[in-house]
Amino acid sequence: MHPARQALEYAAATLGFSGVGVANPFDDQGEALPRFIASGMHADMAWMERHLPARQNPELVLPGVRSIIMLTYEYPRSDTRSVPGSIARYAQGEDYHKLLASKLADLDETLQFYGGTQRCFTDSGPVSERFFAARAGLGWIGRNGLLIRPRGGSYCFLASILTTLELPVDAPMPNHCGNCHRCEQACPTAALEDGICDARRCLSFWTIEAKSPIPPDIAARQGNHLYGCDACQEACPWNQPRPGQQPRIDPHLLMPAPLRHMPPENLDSMQEPEFENIFTGSPIRRIGLEHLQRNHRSGQF
């Protein structure tokens, strides 16, 4: 095995990453993303349009890039809330951006030893992470638009390392969704079709990203969703528990007791100091108290 690749895999496993794959940064990404943006399905997430040239040309992100390393990191597969108010599983613990940033810095240092220059991201840079994770053989992009793995499903974070090192690339795997459409059928707002999620209808977009009021037709289907939505993941057969496939979950990603037991109606009278006390260190904090209160007012709890 290539010595840098061997060192990378050892270090990644030690740091808790569950999968490592390498893709060619110059693989053709096709026209799916430009068509998605041209159709307006990105809603008001203008950064997607601004970053499109860099997403399609990794050379603009790291001049001299020769490989894209993709990694997976598990997050909880069960909802531990004891009261109404569903919170997407990825956001139930500490902010994954900060948690994984320090681990990626360690991997960067490992690759520097072999002469590489790197740029590292986890859901924070102009990198088509799902595309390259699939090209790196970590899984396939399912009908819900997420990376699905034969062992592990879609409950994982993706992280990317662009490097000037030329590493052996991995082979993509076939798509195993077959004739299954359970994710599309489970989506409360019919936002999914053939691997594309229309953000204009997605509850995750409206309860997390959108600043404007939730439209009445979306709010009517919001139900118990307070922050984000896992409906498509919950319906996916690849996410169902299997014997011997219980991954180790970083304790930092587990839901703390105050959030686990906080009734949603507490948000009505919550003030900023209490919000900061509960949500400091959580990815939920970035949307702010007013946005979270709006989500509660529009839902059915």
User: What does the DSSP 8-state code read for residue 145?
Assistant: S
Tell me what pLDDT residue 122 has: 94
The whole-angstrom separation of Cα 16 and Cα 104 is 11
In this structure, which long-range contacts are made by residues 207-214, counting pairs with CB atoms below 8 Å and at least 24 apart in sequence? 207/295, 208/287, 209/43, 209/44, 209/45, 210/43, 210/44, 211/44, 211/291, 212/44, 213/294, 213/298, 214/294, 214/295, 214/298
Whether 8 and 22 have beta carbons less than 8 Å apart is answered as no
Mean pLDDT rounded to a whole number for the chain: 96
Q: What is the mean pLDDT of residues 208-235?
A: 96
Whether 172 and 180 have beta carbons less than 8 Å apart is answered as no
The CA distances from residue 253 to 38, 216, 244, in Å, are: 36, 33, 21
Tell me what pLDDT residue 180 has: 97
Please list, in sequence order, all residues whose beta carbon lies within 8 angstroms of the beta carbon of residue 150, skipping any fewer than 6 positions away: 139, 173, 176, 238
pLDDT in tens, 66-124: 999 999 999 999 888 999 999 999 999 999 999 999 999 999 999 999 999 999 999 98
169 has pLDDT over 90? yes
Tell me what pLDDT residue 156 has: 97
193 has pLDDT over 80? yes
Q: What is the mean pLDDT of residues 144-148?
A: 97
Q: What is the mean pLDDT of residues 259-282?
A: 95
pLDDT in tens, 228-254: 999 999 999 999 987 766 788 999 999
Tell me what pLDDT residue 243 has: 74
% of the chain with per-residue pLDDT over 70: 99
Q: What is the mean pLDDT of residues 178-188?
A: 97
Length of the chain equals 301
Q: What is the mean pLDDT of residues 152-174?
A: 97
Tell me what pLDDT residue 251 has: 96
% of the chain with per-residue pLDDT over 90: 94
Active-site positions?
123
Question: In which band, very low, low, confident or very high, does the pLDDT at 186 lie, cut at 50, 70 and 90?
Answer: very high
Cβ–Cβ contacts within 10 Å for residue 215, how many? Answer: 14
Cβ–Cβ contacts within 10 Å for residue 246, how many? Answer: 9
Nearest 5°: phi and psi at 33?
A: -70, -45
